[in-house]
Every structure is written in structure tokens, then in C-alpha cells.
Amino acid sequence: MTSTPTQDDVRIAKNLADLVRTLDLGVPVELWTGERIGDSQGPAVRIAHAEALSRLVFKPKVETLVGLWMDKSIDIVGGSFLDLADRRGSKGRSRGAWKRIDKIGLARLLPALWRTRKGAADTGLAQAGADAGASGSTKQAIQYHYDVSNRFYELFLDKRMVYSCAYFDGWHGDIDKAQEDKLEMICRKLRLGAGDRFLDIGCGWGALLIHAASRHGVIGHGVTLSKAQFDLATRRVREAGLEDRVTIELKPFQELTGTFDKIASIGMFEHVGFAHHDEYFGAVRKLLRPRGLYLHHAITRPAKKNLKTFHKGSREYRAITRYIFPGGELDYIGHSLERLEAHRFEVHDVENWREHYGRTCRIWAERLHENFEAAAAEAGEPVARLWLLYLAGCALAFERGTVMINQTLVSKRDKGPSGLPPTRADLYA
């Protein structure tokens, strides 16, 4: 807003500055009046106008905060979201803030805030076009997330466009190397060999199929529900000269037929949803030969004391599954293993890659921040800002352990030997 501040604006700014100082959150705040509360250097949260505060006070929801971020009513100046989080560290005291706040000072704010309230709390979210009612496993939901544009994803992903957790042999920043190492680790865990019939469920832009066919000689098949991914993946297969070894279809997993020696699902299971878990594992079992290997790579949340609490999730989690992954649901690893065993799979290995995904998301967020102008031109500024917030939030969630990711290797249960070697030493040689 560029209009001259009203008396209410000035009164709100003064009282807000007093309240922020009492909270000691460890985050500098810059007000629409130009006043800065907290450290004079480094990144700060900027509140663009008094209306932003009134919208948040009278509709205190995560959705309101996200909408304010998307339309730049709340912004970060002097750095990125991750810069601010790193600078804050453990300095701030957000826990117990309500007890420390000056309740009388807050009450003084309310009349002026009410007069500035205009009720447009979800402006940014409306521009994002999210469909809160979509199911995570439908073509509509998949295309909402993945068909933003291929160019948009190119701005922050690696050169192969692998949109899942990378694998780091050290905490370096080379995302191209880390994603190639991840593709190779998947192939090693699946013991891929020449002539293996290999299925990639949710194949994305085709990186794993191309790697497996060119490096390990498999006959690969992949499926996706994203038209943008399908178009680019098929083009990349053709450019790699692998059309005789790799095929890709635009279809749901429910329609797959045939028999495969090895199957991978890398970052797809999150879209399936609890109501379809049994349907999904049943389909994988039907497609896999006896003692065939299946690699299940999926984000999870820590288990709670009961299912009701688990399914409720945090407000942040509910916002992500509404505005980023419509209809998506994260499992907990114990439940995934239970359902795999119920569908007669033998579990061989479970590996936690949480810190690897934290590093991956941090690199993605930094790259998107660096290329933000191009991203905004491609997808629109509100959507680009939403993805900035999402990737940075994911980085912090994985780093802090509020979400996990596991790679689980199983085989279709059968009598006799599993066919796996006695140790896993060769995987890490």
C-alpha cells in the first residue's frame, strides 16, 4: 500500500512495536511505517500494512498467513526464509508467547484493527487455484501439482529433473551428483541387471528409467498422471536412444498389467491416501513376480499415541495437503510395514533418509530463491511465492525431524531363499 498512513495505522504500528518487544521472538520485524524492531542487520519479517495484521488477528489460521505471504502483505527482506530461520536458531522464544504478551496492550489494538479489517484474508490462496476437495490419487490432483510447467521445475531441480530426495555421500551442495548417486543407489538396492523387467510407478520426468536402462540394461516401463511429465519424459527417452528399452504411459497404477522382476515407487505413495493403501499394495503384488523386489520410497510422519491424533495432523500439514498436494496423505512407517506384510511382502531393509531430504529441500529452496524472477514470470508471483514457502518449510521440517522419509526394500514372499546376498556391503562400496 502506498497511501498516507491513517491515525489508526500509526496507532497500530506503535502498539504493535511495543508488543513485539515484549515477546522476544528472536525475529526482527519491519513495519509499514519503516520502523524496525530487533536487530538492525540481516533478514527481517516485513508487515506491509495494518490490514495484514487485522486479517491475521481476526482470522488466525495458517491459511490466512499463507495468503498474506502469497500477496506480499507479509514478506522477508534482507534475505530468504531459510536465512531468517537460520539466524533465529534457538534465540527466539515462540513457545509460551501468549503468556508473555501484554494482554492490555493487545486489547488496545483491537478497535483500530477492526476498522482496518477488509475481510480479504485469502487473496493469495484464491490466486493459487487450489482445489481443497481433490483426491490425492486422481489425475486432477497430480496435474495441479506437477503441471505448473516443466520450465518452473527446471529452475530449482537438478539437470535430470529428479523431484524426490537426493542421496549425499557427504553434506555437499552438488545436487546433480547427489541425484545421480540416488538413482544409482535405487538400482543397487533393486539389484537391477540386464534384461530385468523394471516398472517405475510415478516415473516423473523419466530420470530413473533412463538411468536404469542405460547403466543397468533393464527393460523399463513407467507411468505418470502428469501430462507435462509424460511429454518431457517420452522426449528424453527418445533423445537418449532408448525407445526400444523404455516405454512410458499416462495412466493410473490401477490400470497396470503385466509381470515385472523389479518395481520402484519413488515419492508417489504420498498421493495414494490411506483409503487406497490396500488397493495400491495389492496392485504392486499382482504385478511383481515371486521373489521380485519392490523399493518403496515415501515421506512419512512420526506415529502418534493413536490413529485419531495422527490423522488430524498439524495445521501446517493440513495446509500443505490442501494447497500444495491436494488430497495427499503421509503414512507412518509402522503402518506401511504392517500393510506390506499383510499383502505378503517380506521386508528386508528400511533406511531413514530424513537428513538427506532436508539437505535436498534446502538446495531446492535456495535455487528457487535465486531464480525467483524467472519462476514468477513462468508460474505467476503468488504461486512462485507459495513454492518458496513450501520448499523452505519442508527443509526445516526434515532438518528438525517433524517429518521423515524411508526407503523400504521388500520382496514378494515365497518359500525358500530370498535371493539377496548375505550382507549389504556392496551397496556402499
Task: Enumerate the active-site residues.
Answer: 394
Rounded Cα distance between 409 and 404, Å, is 16
Cell of 417: 531363499
Q: What is the separation of C-alpha 43 from the centre of its chain, rounded to a whole number of angstroms?
A: 24
- How many CB atoms lie under 10 A from the CB of residue 374? 15
Q: State in Å, rounded, how far the first CA of the chain is from the last one.
A: 59
Would you call 260 helix, strand, or coil by DSSP? Answer: strand
Residue among 372, 392, 394 at smallest CA distance from 384: 372
Where does residue 112 fall: left (phi above 0), alpha (psi -120 to 50 degrees), or beta otherwise? Answer: alpha
Q: What is the CA radius of gyration of the chain?
A: 24
Task: At 285, list the grid cell.
Answer: 503384488
Let me know how long the chain is: 429
CA geometry: angle at 216 spanning 213 and 218, to 5°? 50
Q: Show the cell assigned to 312.
A: 488430524
